[in-house]
Amino acid sequence: MGVLADRTIELKCPACSRTTKKSIAWVKNNITFTCACGNEIRIDSPEFKATVAKVEAELKKQEQTARRQGH
């Protein structure tokens, strides 16, 4: 996973709408997330995993572009 594993994404609670930042590595290694309001959210669904993969791909693309531009 490398550098991307440390990047964060926001998890939004469907019960209270609170957002919580978690690293991509944390999300990949857990199946549920418990919001501060107590609501447990399942994060291992195929749809959620597809969203994480999409975010990861976009971040990787941005980092590659930045490297090519010398940043």
DSSP letters spanning the chain: -GGGGG-EEEEE-TTT--EEEEEHHHHHT-SEEE-TTS-EEE--SHHHHHHHHHHHHHHHHHHHHHHHTT-
Q: Does pTM surpass 0.75?
A: no
Report pLDDT for 7. Answer: 82
* Domain coordinates in residue numbering, the chain: 2-68
Report pLDDT for 3. Answer: 60
Bridge partners (DSSP) of residue 41 are: 33
pLDDT in tens, 9-34: 889 999 999 999 999 889 889 999 99
